[in-house]
Amino acid sequence: MRSRISWYFVLLLVLSITACAVVNPPEKQRKAAVDDFMYTLRWLRFQDAARFFSDEHREAFLDQMEALKDLNVTEVRLKRFDLKDEGRRAEARLEMDYYILPSATLKTLRIDQTWVYFEAGDSGYNGFLITTPFPKFPEETSRNKPPGKATLPP
Protein backbone atom coordinates (compact mmCIF):
# COMPACT_ATOMS: atom_id res chain seq x y z
CA MET A 1 0.00 0.00 0.00
CA ARG A 2 2.75 2.40 0.97
CA SER A 3 4.58 1.67 -2.30
CA ARG A 4 1.45 2.46 -4.28
CA ILE A 5 1.00 5.84 -2.54
CA SER A 6 4.64 6.71 -3.26
CA TRP A 7 4.11 5.77 -6.91
CA TYR A 8 1.04 8.02 -7.17
CA PHE A 9 2.90 10.85 -5.49
CA VAL A 10 5.77 10.60 -7.99
CA LEU A 11 3.30 10.47 -10.89
CA LEU A 12 1.47 13.52 -9.57
CA LEU A 13 4.75 15.38 -9.16
CA VAL A 14 5.84 14.57 -12.72
CA LEU A 15 2.49 15.68 -14.14
CA SER A 16 2.62 18.92 -12.15
CA ILE A 17 6.08 19.75 -13.41
CA THR A 18 5.08 18.91 -16.99
CA ALA A 19 2.01 21.14 -16.74
CA CYS A 20 4.12 24.04 -15.51
CA ALA A 21 6.54 23.62 -18.39
CA VAL A 22 3.79 23.51 -21.03
CA VAL A 23 1.81 26.51 -19.79
CA ASN A 24 3.68 29.71 -20.57
CA PRO A 25 1.31 32.63 -20.04
CA PRO A 26 1.63 35.76 -22.20
CA GLU A 27 3.02 37.73 -19.23
CA LYS A 28 6.08 35.49 -19.02
CA GLN A 29 6.45 35.41 -22.80
CA ARG A 30 6.30 39.21 -22.93
CA LYS A 31 8.96 39.71 -20.29
CA ALA A 32 11.22 37.09 -21.85
CA ALA A 33 10.78 38.59 -25.33
CA VAL A 34 11.65 42.14 -24.23
CA ASP A 35 14.61 40.97 -22.14
CA ASP A 36 15.92 38.80 -24.99
CA PHE A 37 15.50 41.62 -27.52
CA MET A 38 17.45 44.04 -25.32
CA TYR A 39 20.18 41.43 -24.83
CA THR A 40 20.54 40.79 -28.56
CA LEU A 41 20.76 44.53 -29.29
CA ARG A 42 23.37 45.05 -26.59
CA TRP A 43 25.62 42.32 -27.96
CA LEU A 44 25.08 43.25 -31.64
CA ARG A 45 23.32 39.99 -32.43
CA PHE A 46 21.10 41.57 -35.05
CA GLN A 47 20.04 38.32 -36.76
CA ASP A 48 18.66 37.18 -33.40
CA ALA A 49 17.11 40.59 -32.69
CA ALA A 50 15.35 40.54 -36.06
CA ARG A 51 13.22 37.57 -35.05
CA PHE A 52 11.36 39.85 -32.62
CA PHE A 53 10.07 42.06 -35.47
CA SER A 54 6.93 41.36 -37.45
CA ASP A 55 7.49 40.30 -41.06
CA GLU A 56 6.89 43.79 -42.41
CA HIS A 57 9.75 45.33 -40.39
CA ARG A 58 12.27 42.47 -40.11
CA GLU A 59 14.19 43.01 -43.37
CA ALA A 60 14.33 46.79 -42.95
CA PHE A 61 15.85 46.31 -39.48
CA LEU A 62 18.48 43.91 -40.82
CA ASP A 63 19.32 46.22 -43.73
CA GLN A 64 19.65 49.18 -41.38
CA MET A 65 21.98 47.33 -39.01
CA GLU A 66 24.05 45.89 -41.85
CA ALA A 67 24.73 49.42 -43.09
CA LEU A 68 26.09 50.46 -39.66
CA LYS A 69 29.29 48.42 -39.67
CA ASP A 70 31.00 50.52 -37.00
CA LEU A 71 28.12 50.59 -34.50
CA ASN A 72 29.07 49.87 -30.89
CA VAL A 73 26.39 49.50 -28.23
CA THR A 74 27.30 50.09 -24.60
CA GLU A 75 23.90 49.66 -22.92
CA VAL A 76 20.22 49.01 -23.63
CA ARG A 77 17.67 49.76 -20.94
CA LEU A 78 13.91 49.65 -20.57
CA LYS A 79 12.52 53.05 -19.58
CA ARG A 80 8.78 52.49 -19.82
CA PHE A 81 6.43 49.58 -20.46
CA ASP A 82 2.67 50.21 -20.62
CA LEU A 83 0.24 47.32 -21.04
CA LYS A 84 -2.84 47.70 -23.23
CA ASP A 85 -5.68 45.44 -24.39
CA GLU A 86 -5.61 43.17 -21.33
CA GLY A 87 -1.88 42.49 -21.68
CA ARG A 88 -2.00 41.51 -25.36
CA ARG A 89 -0.34 44.74 -26.51
CA ALA A 90 2.32 46.90 -24.91
CA GLU A 91 3.91 50.27 -25.61
CA ALA A 92 7.58 50.24 -24.67
CA ARG A 93 10.35 52.80 -24.62
CA LEU A 94 13.95 51.61 -24.67
CA GLU A 95 17.12 53.65 -24.63
CA MET A 96 20.25 52.43 -26.31
CA ASP A 97 23.63 54.05 -25.62
CA TYR A 98 25.95 53.73 -28.60
CA TYR A 99 28.74 55.24 -30.63
CA ILE A 100 29.65 54.83 -34.28
CA LEU A 101 33.35 54.78 -35.11
CA PRO A 102 35.42 56.80 -35.83
CA SER A 103 33.51 58.98 -33.35
CA ALA A 104 33.94 58.15 -29.67
CA THR A 105 31.01 60.32 -28.60
CA LEU A 106 28.45 58.31 -26.65
CA LYS A 107 24.90 58.99 -27.82
CA THR A 108 21.49 57.73 -26.77
CA LEU A 109 18.85 56.47 -29.20
CA ARG A 110 15.27 56.46 -27.99
CA ILE A 111 13.39 53.42 -29.25
CA ASP A 112 9.59 53.54 -29.04
CA GLN A 113 7.97 50.18 -29.80
CA THR A 114 4.62 48.47 -29.90
CA TRP A 115 4.69 44.81 -28.91
CA VAL A 116 1.66 42.69 -29.88
CA TYR A 117 0.80 39.14 -28.85
CA PHE A 118 0.15 36.80 -31.78
CA GLU A 119 -1.37 33.36 -31.48
CA ALA A 120 -0.35 30.51 -33.76
CA GLY A 121 -3.52 30.93 -35.85
CA ASP A 122 -2.76 34.57 -36.68
CA SER A 123 0.66 34.24 -38.31
CA GLY A 124 2.03 30.82 -37.56
CA TYR A 125 3.93 32.44 -34.67
CA ASN A 126 2.93 32.29 -31.04
CA GLY A 127 4.26 35.10 -28.85
CA PHE A 128 5.06 38.81 -28.77
CA LEU A 129 6.41 40.67 -31.81
CA ILE A 130 7.44 44.28 -32.42
CA THR A 131 5.02 45.85 -34.90
CA THR A 132 6.76 49.21 -35.33
CA PRO A 133 9.89 49.99 -37.36
CA PHE A 134 13.24 50.47 -35.67
CA PRO A 135 14.11 54.19 -35.48
CA LYS A 136 16.81 55.74 -37.63
CA PHE A 137 20.05 56.80 -36.00
CA PRO A 138 20.73 60.56 -36.26
CA GLU A 139 23.87 59.71 -38.25
CA GLU A 140 21.75 57.89 -40.85
CA THR A 141 19.38 60.78 -41.38
CA SER A 142 22.19 63.31 -41.68
CA ARG A 143 23.96 61.12 -44.28
CA ASN A 144 20.81 60.99 -46.41
CA LYS A 145 20.27 64.76 -46.50
CA PRO A 146 21.48 66.58 -49.59
CA PRO A 147 24.32 68.97 -48.89
CA GLY A 148 23.20 72.53 -48.23
CA LYS A 149 24.20 75.36 -50.51
CA ALA A 150 27.33 76.98 -49.23
CA THR A 151 27.65 80.71 -49.53
CA LEU A 152 30.88 82.58 -49.52
CA PRO A 153 31.26 85.56 -47.22
CA PRO A 154 31.16 88.97 -48.98
Q: Please answer whether residues 93 and 111 qualify as being in contact, where contact means their C-beta atoms are separated by less than 8 angstroms.
A: yes
Give the confidence band of 129 by pLDDT, cuts at 50, 70, 90: very high
User: What domains appear along the chain, each with residue ranges and CATH number?
Assistant: 24-132 (3.10.450.50)
Q: How many Å apart are CA 3 and CA 11, to the nearest integer?
A: 12
Pairing of strands 127-130, 71-84: unpaired
Looking at residue 22, its pLDDT comes to: 46
Contacts of 70 (CB under 8 A, 6+ apart): 100, 101, 102
Taking every pair of C-alpha atoms in the chain, what is the biggest distance, in angstroms? 106
Global confidence as pTM:
0.73
Q: What is the mean pLDDT of residues 4-26?
A: 58
Look at residue 23 and tell me whether its pLDDT is greater than 50: no
What dihedral do alpha carbons 109, 113, 119, 120 form, nearest 10°? -40
Q: What is the pLDDT of residues 49-104, one digit of tens each?
A: 999 999 999 999 999 999 998 999 999 999 999 998 888 899 999 999 999 999 99
CA pseudo-torsion sign 133, 135, 139, 145 = positive
Cis peptide before 26 (omega within 30 of 0): no
